[in-house]
Structure 1
Amino acid sequence: MTQVGTITREYWINVTGGSVSAIPVGTTPTGVTALTSFTSPSNWANSYGERVRGYIVPTVTGVYQFAIAGDNDCELWLSTTNSAANKVLIANVAGWTPAGNWTYQPSQKSGQITLTAGQRYYVEALHKEDQGDDSLSVAWTVPGGGSMFTVIDGAHLAPIQ
């Protein structure tokens, strides 16, 4: 079983454009770091793209809802298994949202998704920063926790292998 605690952040610098389709994910990234929560550094740079990927490992079985916030364009993908081949787009940001704002655009929230405790689910967030402020965060609501979104912490994340 993969150890929990971090998720993998890959980034590419000097990437022009404002769409996630401009991120050269098929090439070697400029750098790779580990994040201890599903939040990338804010106001980090201009003209870059990043992919944050790994596994979500829930500790409670039940219904979850996900949300992504970022500046600029972002996409959130989740798999029904631990395989990236099964990922589907569950939420996205067109343009930008304020950092940590989970209700700015309807498209930034997923539908309700049932997850099983202890199972690994492949997750991937793509973020393309153009100019100005930049941020990326992914949050969820947890079973029995009400409707408040909280950033997914390292206790529920595992890095890509």
Structure 2
Amino acid sequence: LHTRVEAGAERDAFAYLGVAGHAALWVNGRRVGATLTGERLQPGAHVVAVPLRAGINEIVIKLSHPSGQSAAHLRFGDGEGRAIEGVLARLPPVLTWSAVSADGARALLAFDAALDPASATALVGTSIGAVGVAAARVREGGYLTLELSGLATGARVALPLIGLTGADGTPLEPGATAPIHHDGAGRVPGFAATWFADITLQKPVLSRIEPRIDTEFGGGSPHPSVPVDGFGARWTGVLVPNISGDHVFTTRSDDGVRLWIDEKPLVDNWTGHGAVDDSGTITLEAGKSYALRMEYFESGGPGMIRLSWTQPGGAPQVLDSSNIGSEPASDLFAP
């Protein structure tokens, strides 16, 4: 894991770390402290003295876990755990997905943080072979729309993102690129998710693209606009399997869930309950598109939702954007 911290002046600080697994902390290329170990993530369980230099400090946490389920939580403070004035996190925006319109004239890039609109002009004139960027526009929510030329159907390029920065001026990671693939479908990778402020799915408060359905809420919610109890969600997408045959879809939910493939109900457990698995089987054809819809509600207490599938001859795995795409909203690729 990599992040940046900006300090107004050289000073000593403390890193408050929680880890699941084993972790080592590196600051500006130098290891700080001993190996840290935790059976489960407990924020602030470890405190490490850290020297910060004036300006940008490069922070790296190296993680390992026998099961691969490593995690870390990091914040900086003084010796009493209080925030330090003049010490700010500078996280580089990370590209989460990219998509190309059906005609290949535009690309949409989604980042996990807001971008600086002025920095997008640095991409204009960029070219990779026959493919060029004619215009670039930053949109609210961390989206970047590019007008392209010369992108043939089936073409794949890795577009350099040189000069693009976050809203606070933090540059992207060195060498960052965006995969541009014109598949002719014009779909966005992932599920189209709508979150509701009620369990009857009548009061929408948030819409976004999500790469997978796999979240444990604990006592919280998926977003500040969604209440911590009494909320719901609906996901839709176009499923394209890799293999023909019987596919098993499994939900794990707390509370209610229901799932349809091409309007055929596979799971229907629309009740309040603790974490439980429900499954349904359907025969699918490789390369064919199927409409998927799943709904969920959480009525109170801890909540979780996950959608997995098992393809013929395979092992269960979380269904993600490698096999799910969303039909874009009418203005998603607008210039």
TM-score relative to the length of structure 2: 0.38
Amino acid at match of 1:89: P
* C-alpha RMSD of matched pairs (Å): 2.0
Q: Which runs of 5+ in 2 are unaligned?
A: 1-184, 222-227, 329-335
Q: Distance in 2 between matches of 1:31 and 1:41?
A: 18
Change (3 A) 1:71 1:2: farther
Q: What does 1:8-157 align with in structure 2 at a 5 Å threshold? A: 8-13=192-197, 15=198, 22-24=200-202, 29-40=204-215, 42-43=217-218, 44=221, 45-79=228-262, 87-93=263-269, 94-98=271-275, 102=277, 108-111=278-281, 113-145=282-314, 148-157=315-324
Q: Distance in 2 between matches of 1:119 and 1:12?
A: 31
Q: Deviations over 1:32-86 (max 9, x none)?
A: 111111324633221111101111111222221111111111101110xxxxxxx
Q: Which runs of 5+ in 1 are unaligned?
A: 17-21, 80-86, 103-107
Change (3 A) 1:115 1:4: farther
Change (3 A) 1:71 1:137: same
Amino acid at match of 1:91: V
Q: Distance in 2 between matches of 1:116 and 1:97?
A: 34
TM-score relative to the length of structure 1: 0.74
Task: Report if the CA contact (8 A) 1:2-1:158 is conserved.
Answer: no
Q: How many Å apart are 1:90 and its aligned residue?
A: 0.8
Percent identical? 21
Amino acid at match of 2:264: V
Q: Deviations over 1:1-40 (max 9, x none)?
A: 2446211110111x15xxxxx222xx6x211111111324
User: Which protein has the larger Cα radius of gyration, Structure 1 or Structure 2?
Assistant: 2
> Quick one: higher RCO (CA 8 Å, sep 6+), 1 or 2?
1
Structure with the larger helix share: 1
Q: Deviations over 1:107-143 (max 9, x none)?
A: x1103x1111221111111111111111111111111
Structure with the larger strand share: 2
Aligned pairs, how many? 135
